[in-house]
Amino acid sequence: MNTETIKKEVNKAVKTERISGSEAIIRCLIAEGVDILYGYPGGAIMPVYDELFKYRDKIHHVLTRHEQGAAHAAQGYARISGRVGVAMATSGPGATNLITGIADAQIDSTPIVCITGQVPSHLLGTDAFQETDIVGISTPVTKWNVQVTKASEIPEAIAKAFYIAKSGRPGPVLIDITKDAQFEEFDFKYEKCTGVRSYKPIPKTDINQVKAAAALINNAKKPLIVWGQGVILGKAEEELKAVVEKSGVPAAWTILGASAIPTSHPLNVGMVGMHGNYAPNKLTNECDVLIAIGMRFDDRVTGSLDTYAKQAKIIHFDIDPAEINKNVKVHIAVLGDSKDSLAMLLSELKENSHKAWHQEFKDLYEIEYNAVIKNDLLPEKEGLTMGEVLKEINIYSNGDAAIVSDVGQHQMIACRYAKFNQSKSNITSGGLGTMGFALPAAIGAKMAEPHREVVAIIGDGGYQMNIQELGTIFQQKAAVKIVVLNNEFLGMVRQWQQLFFDKRYASTEMTNPDFVTIAKGYSINGKRVTKREELADAVKEMMASKSSYFLEVCVEKEDNVFPMIPSGASVSDIRLS
């Protein structure tokens, strides 16, 4: 038996097949269940695109108009579906254009896998055309990254990437693959990754810590729950709801935690943070036990750490040990998967109602309603408010739409006033605060869950940062509803300039184009609303549309978002005006 025959027999025995590295990439993605891929081709990734063309009946490639759009679309896909989003780009500027989306995914714990092409391995380090050290650049903003220079390394790298991206606290992973590795042939075999040495994504929950937490909660007079996105990522919505209902503890949420419990739930007391609701912010500094679940005590939630919940015993449920005592010193830490740890907590809790404590929240809500909410939703002023636009959308969405918001005043208004009946309905850029996020993220969300209504709420500033993705909507026929709340300002920056810089509106006023005409150029029907009497019919028409729709609403130029905790101030110093 000659050498070639022996080689074939061995390959057959281990179920290998000789293919190119580029075909292996596609085959690996298919094995991981990838059905949609967002990207932009170029020279260093061209062999992969050539193979992707052959497998186009198995993976649908979405040509975004910018690589940043691809990363954000992958995020939107992941956030609404719970699956791993995938983006692909060429070397050099293609790879670096992904970085903003990758950084956004890192701080918001979004599972995406980014694949970049790289110059041939013999040119690495020579400053070759379109060469950048994307592994070095992306190291601070990825959960894991790797450069592949041999075709045989591809299956293991991709399997590991998907495992790391979606396990434990999720996050972005980048795989950089040299062009020669894409061309090289090898004996292909794919096995999914089920573990990585020294990486333990889910810490074991200590039942004694759970019992200690339950004892504090059971004996508390004024307990408060603040939950974050960890509940959604852990698929622990039902467990959280059961804990809240059995304990009777008022429960508030961070921006990324929104929708884990329906906004209409009687124990849901609203949003915490800089532009959150008055009661949960104010009463954070009056509760005796603060139970943080799947949140990281971000500075926009805590305000001044020197005064944050100093009177309270703090319990922190989290999957990531690095978050414990990072910003806020806690009394009891419960590590583990939120679904498991909350189920354990539930069995230890006593039934309670805390009626007097809840009344304090209701009393403060009335103050906020009369000072802020009424003016946002039922304004007497001539100009339109952002809040009344959300109110109209709620009427036709019935709280079932996914709201994808950009960053700015409109984002805060959307988070405050959108109604959510189901989880994974609030998709926004939280920790990084990325303007330009919403339009491509809405595309990804709609393509991941085509049966759901997806409404993008965007300001006139952020909209123009990735307005080119209208071309992606046009080509993909993605039925995204786009609402631009146009105040002809970079509204949030202008608000700060008004309140803290004596109304010096330095470089924040916008001279905008005809947005409706631009949308029509992409065959997207649209309408511009300038008067209150036009709003209801316009929103009704948009929500009834079976295809994409663009709605521009011209709102008050100098409206502000309140309540507001000034930067660095205590949550007790929350302002209503």
The reply to whether 492 belongs to the active site is yes
Rounded to an integer, what distance in angstroms lies between the CA atom of residue 547 and that of residue 405? 19
Rounded to an integer, what distance in angstroms lies between the CA atom of residue 348 and that of residue 212? 10
The reply to whether 179 belongs to the active site is yes
Using CA atoms, how far residue 154 sits from 148, 161, 180, in Å, is 7, 10, 12
Instruction: Tell me the β-bridge partners of 554.
Output: 486
The reply to whether 67 belongs to the active site is yes
Q: Among 17, 46, 130, 192, which one carries the catalytic annotation?
A: 130
Chain-centre distance for alpha carbon 330: 26
The residues, ordered by sequence, that sit 6+ positions from 481 with a Cβ below 8 Å of its Cβ are 453, 454, 455, 456, 542, 543, 545, 548, 549, 551
Q: Among 129, 183, 500, 501, which one carries the catalytic annotation?
A: 129
Half-sphere exposure in the Cβ direction for 50 (13 Å, CA): 12
Rounded to an integer, what distance in angstroms lies between the CA atom of residue 577 and that of residue 375? 11
Helix (H, G, I), strand (E, B) or coil at 159: helix
**Paired tokens of 308:** 């944050």
**DSSP letter at 203?**
P
Q: Among 344, 412, 492, 543, which one carries the catalytic annotation?
A: 492
**Paired tokens of 283:** 């009463």
Q: Among 143, 160, 166, 179, which one carries the catalytic annotation?
A: 179
Rounded to an integer, what distance in angstroms lies between the CA atom of residue 133 and that of residue 214? 49
> What does DSSP say about strands 223-227 and 289-293: parallel, antiparallel, or unpaired?
parallel
Query: Which of 38, 35, 81, 113 is closest to 425 using CA atoms?
Result: 81
Q: Among 67, 237, 239, 469, which one carries the catalytic annotation?
A: 67
Instruction: Tell me the β-bridge partners of 293.
Output: 227, 317
Catalytic machinery residues? 67, 129-130, 179, 492
